[in-house]
Structure 1
């Protein structure tokens, strides 16, 4: 068998065919054949490429119009480019594999389009789109483009960006650009066919050249450089089976694809608590799942706990985990933090009575007693929901023992300042709430966590866990973090916290150092986005780029982050309507069109801010004959139901296509509420921004944004044009 390595020129070239499933399917067949029989294979018709270094070959991709160019080093096949016949050869002639003498690693070099001198491919790619990289400036001018048009073509990264330019280009220049892009020939399709047939007649006389390699000394040098750890980023190992699974499988399988460059993080040994953080889409959960498998393999008779705050996520991750790690499934326990803590207490004979309706009534009675007309909190116009969050996430969530503790608290994660008088009144409300809970004989979930923490801290129960992984850790309370840390302590590979403060969808926050959880030297930040397209990432970050966020450190992090996006695609569809009926009809039409175009019905999600809108869109989508599934009932099994849920329920999930309806003042409840002071309002909107950001980044390939009347200020942006509503519904 031959090993396959991917290069960045190759992954860039694939994007040209993202809307051509026939070409992608053929490419998968070619790649699979290469791993077993690259030569003397009638499917591939492999032969050496002229004007390229020894060991450079071309193979057929499906019909004879496409070519895969690759380089052979020992038993390693390095994929360089896939494209139309002539364009593939043109790119291959310009790509070289050279050793970086300073670092002794192998790199891909390209030709600078202006100077025609060598430069690292990554450097060229950072300042240039991929669409016309096969032609240098002299080539483009020779084809008939004008001098001022060449820099414009250099910026284009996909076919849609060229089509968007049509109204502003000379008709002759657009036709020329389209022919070159679509057919690889400036004269159009027929001329391209004739040129290809002539080339194929020439190729027929020299098919299957077999091995024609560099001399042994040069090959040894290349092999040594290729094996260097620093070469893995540019020459990523991947099997043909993995490629097939990535491109063709349901979204549930995509959710466990581990980029080979992340394997080192999965295997790394941590000599104490560790942390993995990074922006949305950087593969944090995937790394965590694969690490859980590795920990389970070493666990012996012990177990690994994989926990999170969101109640519905563990069932999804458990099923996904069982599909790629069935042998380790029984040694990994997937539970949300509250269910896990309740189980601990039950096994210790310390059961607690959780009755949410009685808890709500206890809260109401406490508010009625404390929040009188003369109450400082009432005069400050702080809402009951805001005060409940204050007590749940700060007072009880941090297990504060006294009013003095609360008065001295740095209220990280809360934007509304509270004076000593207001804090004193909050504490009175908390004490009244506790009294009402005791009188009703019930507990809330914070009581469960606090009691479990004390039980574990005081060693009153023996736990079977050798490792604990907490995903979406930014949404956990301080007490939760203390509980998990107490369960495994500072042992090697014991506690791993995975999350991103920018995706925090609940108030609060914490500082790890103040909790005694030391991750210095064991914290990793992921910066490559593998999930979303660049266009989706850009749209999502515009929502939060001016909002600093708490990521568990000493200082706030800036909203605008430097990440590398690995995929390209179409701009999100943005469309407004005069009536809600028109809006919902367009939404339904776009979903139906996407399914007709080949997107699996189960890979589509409609996400909304409230449970009321969940019920409304379940009904709307059902009316057009499509089955739906609420996210609260989704357990990770692939199915053919359109998923519908709130932004919060979508946390930790991803879908090929995401629809976000009613992004307007009413749909998002964006308006300032009666008796809501400015600072409380600003804090609520900041939280809404983060939730919307989470919803937008659930989309892998396509994102639809719709509104009635005027768009919400959260998504209005002068650099993102609104798409005509009628045309948007047909895209």
Structure 2
């Protein structure tokens, strides 16, 4: 069957367009890609663009006139003295107007085999044929009711398939017909110039079919259709790093806000660098101001003020509680903090001992006996009482406090028509409860983008508990990563599968055949600092990059050491001044961004420099660590490093001191 974009019949589509959409959809040829315009109210824009066999292009204008109306044109003097079409046929001129725009962009002397059809799905073939003969400005082909049927349409497409267009010209045509699917050239980091020169302005890169389908699915063409949409609509897009999930989310949010500028739109993510990156891209796209960009906790804080407990105070309390309850030998403080977070994240109602005893503790590696669970829950209760007594919260407790205040009427939460969640694998079940409470009760829609292989903070599919496990018909998995070179993705996958043996994770990684088809690039540059200072070697590497004329904005530094990001910024600032900025504060593409390894998900860069892996891998060998805890740490670190490597589109540089780091990164077993 023909591939349609959008791939489901939109609501509130005019009847004459519905007839053509259905006939195009029924054509038994998957080499046919048909787009319907999202500018259905614009008389100067064609209704459909059809690309056949990825070489021939057809513009279709659809007329609503029936046989009687067409015949009436002749009875009332079809043409005026200048040979102009009557008002009801003005949309036919949209074909020429659109083609002229494309020709102007191609430049003087350009020739364009862009074919023009006017369809009359409600008028007889005889009347339409008479109309075509009588109109001096007739396009190449007028088609009546019978000729608008699937078999006839396919025959016409096949007959004209040899009028081939260059791929760049096809991209330009699609980009102008469906600007919502056109990617600014400066965003395609694998193809852009890395120097300080301006990137090309022409938008000649496009979402692929699967990406565009995911972006448009169930997104209506008009505000009226949006109001008629069912409530509680949920959609999920998953896929490996670099497959375009964030791009889809961003473009969908822009298109949705454009179609209905009265709706309230919220875009949520889990970290500040991703928010800064999305806001920068949204500004470049000229997105509507009715879109709100927030990290999850900054969104909570905008509605509810809370006092965050200091880590030192929290740690001292837990250490003392372990002594008082004589549980020091059974649990470590680190394990308890992690378990407390799991309890707060997963108990959708108020946590209770009965709930905890019966819970399957999904995603937890360490098994706990009932008596151990009682001990943990006792400590958790003491900890919560301490927080309440001091009017403080920790990060995991804040969402629970928000829901309580919302249900008690102590705060007035905001409601949104559409909420987008990027990197949803980092959202806890209790976070999704907060999101559900913010959706408009009648028209609320939720769109999520996620990569379960990157979920090093949580199990990776926490939405299942709140939204339900059956996402059939509501989810789409993308399998083609476009960001990286073959060498970068091969390194990332080899590293991943050498440390994590999971069938589920294998499914979410690109297969080897696709990796082999990816564009080739540089091998990873693994730099051993040896006896020299890591910081000095890092500065040397960055100076080499910048001295070559590289735009600092094309470099992302990822620190995996766990030390303060600010100390790294202070040190590098001595050498590079204002060329360096925290990824959370980046406002443009002229400065090198610095991010911790936990906060780099969702962002990308042509060149990525990674430091601090020595300390990350050393932690896995800590003496006295429980083997189950060690296994879990290896799993989380593997996902962290996989994310860091795949941020790069062209080049990865890793600066380290221990040869053990090189061995771990390059092992194939």
Q: Same fold judged by TM-score > 0.5?
A: yes
CA contact (8 A) 1:607 1:659 kept: yes
> TM-score, with normalisation over the residues of structure 2?
0.66
Deviation of 1:500 (Å): 1.0
| Cα distance between partner residues in 2 of 1:521 and 1:620 | 51
Q: CA deviation at 1:303?
A: 0.7
Structure 1 gap ranges (5+) = 10-31, 42-54, 56-71, 77-102, 105-215, 227-231, 346-351, 721-731
1:316 aligns with 277
Whole-Å Cα distance in 2 between the matches of residues 525 and 315 of structure 1?
26
Structure 1 residue aligned with 2:481: 529
**How far 1:342 moved relative to its partner?**
2.7
Residue 433 to residue 509, structure 1, CA distance change in 2 (3 Å): farther
Q: Aligned equivalents of 2:186 and 2:424: distance in 1?
A: 32
Question: Who is 2:307 aligned against?
Answer: 354
Q: Which residue number corresponds to residue 377 of structure 2?
A: 427
Give 1:595 deviation, angstroms.
2.4
What residue in structure 1 maps to residue 35 of structure 2? none
Cα distance change of structure 1 residues 245 and 604 upon mapping to structure 2, 3 Å threshold: closer
User: Pairwise mapping of residues 536-685 of structure 1 onto structure 2 (< 5 A)?
Assistant: 536-546=488-498, 556-558=504-506, 561-562=509-510, 564=514, 566-581=518-533, 583-612=534-563, 614=565, 617-618=568-569, 621-625=572-576, 627=578, 629-631=580-582, 633-640=584-591, 642-664=592-614, 666=615, 668-685=617-634
Note the C-alpha offset of 1:242: 4.3
The equivalent residue for 2:654 is 705
* Residues 390, 354 of structure 1: alpha-carbon distance in 2 compared, 3 angstrom cutoff: same
Q: TM-score, normalised by structure 1?
A: 0.61
Query: Equivalent residue for 1:109?
Result: none
Aligned length: 508
Specify the alignment match of 1:398 in structure 2: 347
- Is residue 411–residue 508 contact of structure 1 (8 Å, CA) maintained in 2? no
Equivalent in the alignment of 2:436? 485
Q: Does the aligned pair in 2 maintain the 1:303–1:467 contact within 8 Å?
A: yes
Q: Would the alpha carbon gap of residues 540 and 245 (structure 1) be closer, same or farther in structure 2, given more than 3 Å must change?
A: closer
The answer as to 2:316 corresponding to 1:364 is yes
How far apart, CA to CA, are the structure 2 residues paired with 1:494 and 1:706?
Answer: 44
Partner of 1:388: 337
Q: Secondary structure at the match of 2:483?
A: strand
Equivalent position of 1:331 in the other structure: 290
Q: Quote the residue 1:220 is aligned against.
A: 160
For the pair 1:297 / 2:258, whether they are aligned, the reply is yes
Q: Which residue of 2 aligns with 1:407?
A: 357
Quote how far apart the aligned CAs of 1:339 are.
Answer: 1.8
The residue aligned with 2:77 is none
- After superposition, the Cα gap between the structure-2 partners of 1:509 and 1:388, relative to the gap in structure 1 and judged at 3 Å, is farther
Cα distance in structure 2, aligned partners of 1:260 and 1:701: 20
Out of 263, 269, 283, which is 2:218 matched to?
A: 269
- Taking a change above 3 Å as real, the CA distance of residues 490 and 411 of structure 1, as seen in their structure-2 partners, is farther
In structure 2, the CA distance between the partners of 1:474 and 1:6, relative to structure 1 (3 Å rule), is farther
Q: 1:313 to 1:691 in 2, by over 3 A?
A: same
Q: Is the 8 A contact 1:237 1:260 kept in 2?
A: no
CA drift at 1:487: 2.4
Alpha carbons of structure 1 residues 567 and 238: separation in structure 2 relative to 1, 3 Å: farther
Give the equivalent residue in structure 2 for 1:95. none
C-alpha distance in 2, partners of 1:36/1:75?
18
Structure 2 unaligned regions, length at least 5: 1-44, 56-100, 117-149, 177-181, 220-229
C-alpha displacement at 1:473, in angstroms?
0.9
* TM superposition shift of 1:567: 3.6
Aligned mates of 1:482, 1:412 — CA distance in 2: 18
Shift of 1:572: 1.0
In 2, are the aligned partners of 1:8 and 1:234 still within 8 Å (CA)? no
Q: Is the 8 A contact 1:320 1:636 kept in 2?
A: no
- Please give the secondary structure, in 2, of the residue aligned with 1:712: helix
Note the C-alpha offset of 1:462.
6.2
CA RMSD of aligned residues (A): 4.3
Shift of 1:236: 9.4
Deviates more, 1:315-324 or 1:394-403: 394-403
Judged with a 3 Å threshold, the aligned counterparts in structure 2 of structure 1 residues 298 and 462 are, in CA distance, closer, same or farther, namely farther
Does structure 2 retain, via aligned residues, the 8 Å contact 1:250–1:638? no
User: 2: distance between equivalents of 1:527 and 1:496?
Assistant: 19
Q: Which residue of 2 aligns with 1:259?
A: 207
Q: Note the C-alpha offset of 1:603.
A: 1.7
Displacement of 1:542 after TM fit? Answer: 1.8
> Contact conserved, 1:366 with 1:432, CA < 8 A, in 2?
no
Residue 95 (structure 2) aligns with: none
Q: Does 1:281 align with 2:221?
A: no
Residue of structure 2 in register with 1:45 after alignment:
none
Report the alpha carbon displacement of residue 361 of structure 1 after superposing the two structures with TM. 1.3
The answer on whether the counterparts of 2:453 and 2:460 sit within 8 Å (CA) in structure 1 is no
**1:341 pairs with 2:291:** no
Distance change in 2, residues 1:463/1:714 (3 Å): farther
**2:301 counterpart SS class:** helix
Are the counterparts in 2 of residues 253 and 320 from structure 1 also a CA contact under 8 Å?
Answer: no
Deviation of 1:601 after TM superposition, in Å, equals: 1.1
Instruction: Check the 8 A contact 1:472/1:652 in 2, yes or no.
Output: yes
Q: Displacement of 1:464 after TM fit?
A: 3.7
Task: Compute the displacement of 1:287 (Å).
Answer: 0.7
Alignment of 1:56-455 (within 5 A): 73-74=113-114, 220-222=160-162, 237-238=174-175, 242-243=184-185, 246=188, 247-248=191-192, 259-261=207-209, 262-269=211-218, 272-326=233-287, 328=288, 330-345=289-304, 352-357=305-310, 360-371=312-323, 374-375=326-327, 378-380=328-330, 382-399=331-348, 401-454=351-404
8 Å CA contact 2:186–2:192 kept in 1: the answer is yes
Residue by residue over 1:223-281, the C-alpha shift from the partner in whole angstroms, topping out at 9 and shown as x without a partner, is 6x99xxxxx99999457994476444789999x97625322322211662111111111
CA distance, structure 2, for counterparts of residue 643 and residue 297 of structure 1: 31
Cα distance in 2, alignment partners of residues 538 and 687 from structure 1: 20
